[in-house]
Chain A
Amino acid sequence: MFSMYLFILFFFAAPQVQEVSLEQLQANTIQNNDTLYVVNFWATWCKPCVAEMPYLEEAQKKFANNKVKVVFVSLNYTRELAVVDKFVKQKKILSTCYLLNAGTPNSWIDKVETEWSGSIPATLMYKNGKKIFFREGEFTQTELDSIIQTKIK
């Protein structure tokens, strides 16, 4: 009985946001399979990022049968892990959530995408181990859906 309480306690207190290195992030999203990984870089302080999160969540639901996996990557400071965790729980985000811990941005932005200035939101899509889409800037739901539609074919 006690262990059940412990389990419940653990379940509710369990962090939803996992801190990852760039290598871990890339290993988890650049995979040799036909799942479309939609990787969105955001932060709690970024208004357009927060505004488009529901669109990505909606797309995840809509394309659930099409091997689409939305991954949110927070670029908040790593000391803000608890803030980010609370934020995504309050927003009831169901997609995978990471907090990137990769050091000074100048050392890793180009490894994600050389065309990326570093402004957010920014979204990349990967399939069969290849990057097949990059956008710096936000989407509307219609734009996002139509892009995913062409990429899952």
Chain B
Amino acid sequence: MTKHLFLVIAVLFLASFKPEGGYKVGDAVADFKLKNVDDKMVTLSDFKDAKGYIVVFTCNHCPFSKKYEDRIIALDKKYKPLGYPVIAINPNDAAQHASDDFPSMKKRAKEKGFTFPYLYDESQAIATAYGARMTPHIFILQAGVGTPVVKYIGAIDDNSDDATAVKEKYAENAVDALLANKPVSPETTKAIGCTIKWKK
């Protein structure tokens, strides 16, 4: 019986794997301090005039992240002037994908001409706190007088393969709604993506 129970517990433990939980829509978020590709530390509070933030967990190696690079740049170009800058965060364990290490991040940011911070979540604490599960995974925060609040979690749009065939721009719709003081709908969406490479 004890042996059987042990097996059940072992299987449950194995099955639980990586983080459930993390922020939900409506949750207030804690600020973070992460190293940018320019070697300077970045926090949310650095953006004094921000009305909110488009936080994107992404990385170098994932084909879906690559597919969205140009669309993430476009989001920043469109929404930074309106008060919603993009903040990209790479949470991957570089031991599992060498192309996700910090020097490679610097290189990629330069090649693509990223107009936004590309931060390295080396300890994976921020991805864990957010409950990020994949790359790309987007969290749109609204900054009020107090702590920023999560308003949208999920995909950037409904067509990873072809930006020209997108029918619903989930992220843009969410920011547009926030700018217009309207409720965000949908507040969450799902997409296929690469698992975050958690440290083993």
Contacts and interface: CB of A to CB of B under 8 A. Distances in A.
Interface residues of B, number: 30
A58 interface: no
A136 B132 CA distance: 13
Which of B170, B190, B192 has the most C-beta atoms of chain A within 10 angstroms of its own C-beta?
B192
B190 A137 contact: no
Interface in B165-200: 167-168, 170, 189-196
Given A104-B159, A117-B133, A75 B192 contact: yes
Contacts of A45: 63
A129 interface: no
A61 interface: no
B195 A121 contact: yes
| Residue in A46, A109, A118, A121 with the greatest tally of chain B CB atoms within 10 Å | A118
B122 interface: no
B14 interface: yes
Interface stretch (A8-16, A91-99, A143-151): A143-151
Contacts of B74: none
A120 interface: yes
B17 A135 contact: yes
B133 A119 contact: yes
A118 B18 CA distance: 14
B191 A118 contact: yes
Given A46-B194, A147-B11, A106 B189 contact: yes
A7 interface: no
Interface residues of A, number: 29
Contacts of B161: 77, 79
A147 B15 contact: yes
A54 to B, nearest CB: 18
Interface of A is mostly: mixed
A110 interface: yes
Nearest to A119: B134
B192 A133 contact: no
B150 to A, nearest CB: 15
B175 to A, nearest CB: 18
B158 interface: yes
A109 B190 contact: yes
Contacts of A104: 158-159, 167-168
B17 A118 contact: no
Contacts of A48: 195
Interface string B11-28: 100110110100000000
26 contacts: A43-B192, A77-B161, A79-B161, A104-B159, A106-B154, A106-B155, A106-B191, A109-B190, A109-B191, A115-B20, A117-B133, A118-B133, A118-B155, A118-B191, A118-B193, A119-B194, A119-B196, A120-B193, A135-B17, A136-B195, A138-B195, A143-B14, A146-B7, A147-B11, A147-B14, A150-B7
Given A46-B194, A116-B190, A118-B192, 10 more contacts: A105-B191, A109-B191, A109-B192, A110-B190, A117-B134, A136-B133, A136-B195, A137-B17, A146-B7, A150-B7
Interface of A: 43, 45-48, 75, 77, 79, 104-106, 109-110, 115-121, 133, 135-138, 143, 146-147, 150
Q: Which 7 A/B pairs are nearest by Cβ-Cβ distance? A: A119-B134, A117-B133, A109-B190, A104-B158, A119-B195, A118-B190, A45-B63
